[in-house]
Structure 1
Amino acid sequence: MGKNGGKSISYFGLVAMGIGCMLGTSWLLLTGTWLETAGGPLNLVVAFVLCILIELPFAFAYMEAIPMLPLPGGEVVYSYAAFGSRGGFAVGWAGILMNTIVFCWVDLAAVSLLDELFPALGRTAVLYQVGDFPVTLPNLIVQLALAGAILFIQLKGANVCASLAKIATVVLLVMCAIGLAVCFTHFDPAVYASDGGLDFDFSGSMALLSLLVFSVAGWETVSKAAADATGPAARKAGAALITCLLLVTGILCLVSTAVAGCMPWREAVNRTAPFADVLVGLTGVPAVRVLFLVTAFVGAVGVMNSTLYSSAQMLYGLSRFGLVSERFSALHPKYGTPARCIWFTAAFVVLTPFTGKLLFLPLINIASLATVVMWVMSLAAVLALRKSHPDWRRPVSMPGGRITAVCGIIASVFLAGNLLVPFSPGALSPLEYALAAALAALGLALYHFRDRTLSDAQRAQRILGGREKTP
C-alpha cells in the first residue's frame, strides 16, 4: 500500500490473512451444497484431492514470484512485468473481481448466519421479493453496517487488518479442531457408505471442482500482503502461502467427511449448517449450534477483511502503474492507506443487499472464472520472466521446475475448459455469462480512462524501480 499505517505484517499475520480469506463460512454453510453437487462423500473427497493437485502448480509459481517482485499489487506486478499493460490490467481486474465478489458473497452469507440466529431478521419488514428471496429492512441495515465496519478497519491500515485476521483465524481453527475431534470420535463407516456414499461418479467430482476453485481460493492474498511484510516474514511469504492452501483445503475436506460419517449425506444436503447440527446431535447441547453459527460469523468478518484488503491492493497497483486513473493512488492523509481504492471496491457491496440471495450461486461461479484467469496469468508470467529477465534475483525457485510448469499448463487448460466449454460439468450458465460480460465491460471502461501520459519506459520504471535486481 505504500504506507501501511503502522507495524509491518508478521509471518503469522501473513498466514492469518490467507486463512482468513479462505476459511470463512464455507466450512459450515456449503457442506450440504458440496455433497449434493458431488453426488456423495466419496466423490467429494476425490474433488478435494484434485483441487489440491490442480492448485499446487499455481501456488508454487507464486512462491517464485513473491520474493522476486515483492511490491504492492501482487499479480498485477508479475503480469505487467511479463506481458505489459494489457496483461497487467487483465490479471489485476480479475483479482479485483474475485476478491470483491467474495466480499459481497460473504456479506450475504453473514446475514444468512444472523437469520439462523435471529429468524425475525429475515421475516420482519419485507420490502420486496427478488424471485423466491425476500429482501427485508433489518437485513439491509445489517449488511451495510457490517460492510461499513470492515471498510473502517481497512482505512486504519495493514497492521490493523492483520490483527483482525489473527483473531478470526485463531477462533476458527480452535472451533473447527474441537468439532472435528467430536465428530471423528463418533464416525460410523456404515453411515458414510449409506445412500450410495461409496458410489463413484467422476462427473460429480468434476462438477464440485468448479465450486471448490472458489471455496479454496484466497491463499494468493499472501502475495499482496507480502509487500507490507519485512524481515523473516517477507522471506517466508511463499511458505505461508502453501501453508494456507494445504491447511484450509484439508479442514474443508475433513469437515464434509465428518458430517457424512455422522449423518446420512442426503439428509445433510437439506441442512443449512449440517456440521453444527451433527454436533448438537452428538453432544445433546442445543447451544452448540449457536456457538458454531457465531464462530462462522467471525469467519465471515475475517474473509471480508482479507478480501477487501486484496481488492484495494490490486486496484492500487493498477493505479500506480497508470493502468487506471491515478486518482486511485491518493492515500489517506492520516493512515497512509489507499482510501479511494478501498471505497471503490467496497462500493460493490452497496448493491448486493438489494438482490437478496438471487445471485448467490452465480457469483460463486463468476468468482471461479476470475480466479482461474488470475492464477493462469501469474503462472504464465513466472515462466515468461525466466526467459525475458533471467538476470533478475530469484531467492526462491518454483519447486518441481519444468514438471511443475507442465502440470500447471495442463491444470490451466483443465480449469478453463471445465468452466467455459458448454455441457461440461462446471460450465457457466447464460446468466453467469451475462454477469461476467457486464463486469468485464466495467473493467474495459476503467482501462480506457487510464493514465495515457505515461510512456512504456515510465511504466517499467514504476514497476521495477522498487525491486532489487541482479545485473
Structure 2
Amino acid sequence: MNERRELNKVLNTGDVLVTAFGAMIGWGWVISSGGWIQASGVLGTALGFIIGGIMIYFVGMVYAELTTAMPEIGGPKVFSAKAFGANISFVCSWAMLFSYIGVVCFEACSLPTIIQYIFPGFLKGYLYTVAGFDIYATWLIMGITATLLITGINILGVKAAATLQKILTITIAAVGIILVVVSAIKGNVDNLDGQLLIGVDGVSVVKNIMSIAVVASFFLFGFDVIPQAAEEIDVPLKKVGKLLVFSIVLAVAFYALVVFAIGYGLNSDGIAESMSSTGLVAADTMAKLFNSATMSKVLIIGGMCGIITSWNSFLMGGSRVLFSMAKSRMVPGRFSKLHAKYKTPVTSLLLIGVLSILSLFCGRAMLIWISDVASFACCFAYCIVALSFLKLRKTKPDMPRPFKIQNANLVGVMAVLMSGLMCVLYVIPNSGCTFTVQEWVIGIVWVILGLVFAIVCKKKYKDDFGKM
C-alpha cells in the first residue's frame, strides 16, 4: 500500500476547529497587545486585525474550496502543482515550510520566556548574549525539554496532538472571555481617551493601522494547518471547508475583543506603565480589573497554553509539508518515512524538532527576525494558492468541489491582491513593516537553500521530481 494512504484518518469536527483556532490565538495577544495599542490605538489595532482578517478570510475561502476538492496531505503543494506544475509547487511549498518552521522555533523560544514572568527567579546560569538577549542554562533546559515533549506527542499520533490542542484551546478561550466580560463590567469608557487611534494626521493613522494589518496576517495564519493534514481528517469534506472559514472569523473576533477589553480596562498611562515594567499589558489589565496579582498569573498561564497550541499546530502542519514534499521527491525521500506503529511522519517531525532546539541557542532577537520573514513567506504562499485557485476554476471547471464558493473570480482576485499587498509592504521602504538587513539575509539564505535542494533533487530524481 502506498505510504501516503497509511496516515490515520482520526481528526473529528472538534479536532479540526480547535487545531486551526488554537494555532491562531496563541500567545501574541498576551505579550504584544500593549505594543499594538501604543502603535495604532485600540480602534486602530482592531481595524488592523479586521483588515488582516479580511485578507485571511478571502484566502481561507480559497483554501476551503481547494482542500475539499483535493483532500491530500500537503495542501498548497497539491493545489499549486495541479495548477502550475512541479516548479511553482516547489516554490510554494518551500515558502510555506519556512513559515511553519519559523513559528515553531519562535514558540520554542517563547515558552521559557513566559516562565520567567511567572517565576522571576527562574533564570540561572548565565551563558552568553545574542543581539542583546541573555541566554541562561535554565532557559535552554526548559526550551529543550518542552521541544522534546511536544515533538514526542506529535510522534504518538495526530489524535494525541489534537486532544492536547483541545484542552489547551478551551483554557485560552476561557481566560480571554473572562478578561472581556470583566472589562465590560468594571472598565471605563474614559480609558479609551487618547488611545483609540494613533497618528498626527490621516496618513500616519492609516500607516499605523496597516502596520498592524501586516502583523495580523502572521498571527492569523494558523487555519492552513488543516489542508496540510487533510488526509487525517474524518469529517465530511463540505463541513471541513465551513470549519476552516469559521475558525478565521472566530480568531479575528477574539483578537478584536481582547484589544478593546484592554483599552476599556486600562488607560494610556496605565498601558505605558505596564509596558515599561512587565510588558504584559493584558495580564496587568486582568490584575487591575480583579485587584489581584493572582489573576495576572492566571492570564499568563492562559498565554502559556497559547504558546503550546500554536507550537503544536505548526509542528503538525510543518511536518506534513515536509512529508508531502519528500513523497513528491522535492526533498530527500527519507523525510517521507512514517512511524511503524503511529503512522506519523517521524523523520520530518524529528528534523523540525532538532531545528527548534538549535534555534533556542540563537536567542529571542534572531527569532523575531525569523518570524517576520516567516510572515512574508506565508503571504507569498497564499498568493500562489490564490492564483492556483483562479487557474483551476478556468482549466478544470468540472473538478468536484464539495465546498464550492460563490463569486469565485471576485474571491480569488481579492485573495491575490490582498496577500500580494502584504508581501509588497515588506519590501517597500518606510512602509512601517519593511524588512531589516538581518531579515533580508535570512530570506536570501532560505531562497539559496531552496535552489540547492531543487537542483540536487531534480538531478537525482529526474522525472519523479514533483510527481504526485
TM-score interval for Structure 1 and Structure 2 normalised by the shorter chain: over 0.9
Distance in 2 between residues matched to 1:340 and 1:242, nearest whole Å: 31
Q: What SS does structure 2 have at the residue aligned with 1:230?
A: coil
**In 2, Cα distance between equivalents of 1:446 and 1:244:** 34
Q: Is the 8 A contact 1:3 1:337 kept in 2?
A: no
- Partner Cα distance (1:63, 1:131) in 2: 41
1:189 and 2:196 are equivalent in the alignment: no
Amino acid at match of 2:57: L
Q: Residue 286 of structure 1 is aligned with which of 277, 282, 293?
A: 293
Are residues 1:216 and 2:217 paired?
no
The one-letter code of the counterpart of 1:22 is M
User: Where does 1:164-313 land on structure 2 (aligned, <5 Å)?
Assistant: 164-194=164-194, 197=197, 201-232=205-236, 234-265=237-268, 267-269=270-272, 270=275, 271-313=278-320
- Give the deviation of 1:450 after TM superposition: 1.9
- 1:121 match: secondary structure: coil
Q: Secondary structure of 2:265's match?
A: coil
Q: Which amino acid aligns with 2:225?
A: T
Q: Deviations over 1:284-327 (max 9, x none)?
A: 22211111111211221111111101000001111111111111
Instruction: Check 1:345–1:332 CA distance in 2 against 1; reply closer, same or farther (3 A cut).
Output: same
How high is the TM-score relative to the length of structure 1?
0.92
**TM-score, normalized by length of structure 2?**
0.93
Structure 1 residue 434 displacement after superposition: 0.6
Query: Which deviates further from its counterpart, 354-363 or 125-134?
Result: 354-363
Q: Which residue of 1 aligns with 2:364?
A: 357
Determine the C-alpha separation between the residues in 2 that align with 1:140 and 1:4. 36
The aligned counterpart of 1:318 is 325
The alignment's C-alpha RMSD in Å is 2.0
Contact (CA 8 Å) 2:37, 2:195: kept in 1 or not? no
Give the counterpart letter for 1:359 in structure 2.
M
Q: Deviations over 1:235-272 (max 9, x none)?
A: 31111111111111111111111111111235425142
Q: Which residue of 2 aligns with 1:121?
A: 122
CA deviation profile, 1:24-67 (whole Å, cap 9, x unmatched): 111211101212332x2222122122112222221111111011
Other structure's SS at 1:383 match: helix
Aligned partner of residue 194 in structure 1, secondary structure: coil
Q: What's 2:39 paired with?
A: 37
Please give the alpha-carbon distance, in whole angstroms, between the structure 2 residues aligned to 1:323 and 1:437. 19
Say whether the 8 Å CA contact 2:38–2:198 is kept in structure 1. no
Q: Does the CA-based 8 Å contact 1:19-1:218 persist in structure 2?
A: yes
With over 3 angstroms needed to count, the CA separation of the structure-2 counterparts of 1:221 and 1:399, relative to structure 1, is farther
| Alignment map for 1:63-462 (pairs within 5 Å) | 63-122=64-123, 124-194=124-194, 197=197, 201-232=205-236, 234-265=237-268, 267-269=270-272, 270=275, 271-450=278-457, 452=459, 456=463
In 2 relative to 1, CA 194–453 (structure 1 residues): closer, same or farther, beyond 3 Å? closer
Residue 467 of structure 1: aligned partner: none
Distance 1:4 1:181 in 2: 46
Question: Which letter maps to 2:387?
Answer: A
Number of positions where the alignment pairs a residue of Structure 1 with one of Structure 2:
458
Q: Structure 1 10/444 Cα, relative in aligned 2: closer, same or farther at 3 Å?
A: same
Tell which deviates more after alignment, 443-452 or 165-174.
Answer: 443-452
The Cα of 1:405 is off from its aligned counterpart by 2.2
Give the deviation of 1:413 after TM superposition.
3.2
Identify if the C-alpha distance between structure 1 residues 328 and 196 changes in structure 2 by more than 3 Å, giving closer, same or farther: closer
Distance 2:436 2:270 in 1: 27
- Match of 2:365, SS? coil
Letter in 1 for 2:392: L
Match in the other structure for 1:469? none
1:25 pairs with 2:32: no
**Residues in 2 aligned to 1:4 and 1:103: alpha-carbon distance in whole angstroms:** 26
Residue segments in structure 2 that go unaligned for 5+ positions in a row: none
What amino acid sits opposite 2:245 in the alignment?
A: I
User: 8 Å contact 1:319–1:328 — kept in the other structure?
Assistant: yes
| Aligned residue identity for 2:186 | H
CA deviation vs aligned residue, 1:100-145 (integer Å, no higher than 9, x gap): 11111112221121010112223x2100112321100000000011
CA distance in 1, matches of 2:320, 2:458: 18
User: Unaligned 5+ residue runs, structure 1?
Assistant: 464-471
Shift in Å, 1:4 = 6.9
The 2-side partners of 1:168 and 1:203 are apart by: 35
Deviation for aligned residue 1:330:
1.4
Write the distance in 1 (CA, Å) between the matches of 2:18 and 2:340.
27
Sequence identity percentage: 21
Residues 328 and 341, structure 1, Cα contact 8 Å, conserved in 2 = yes
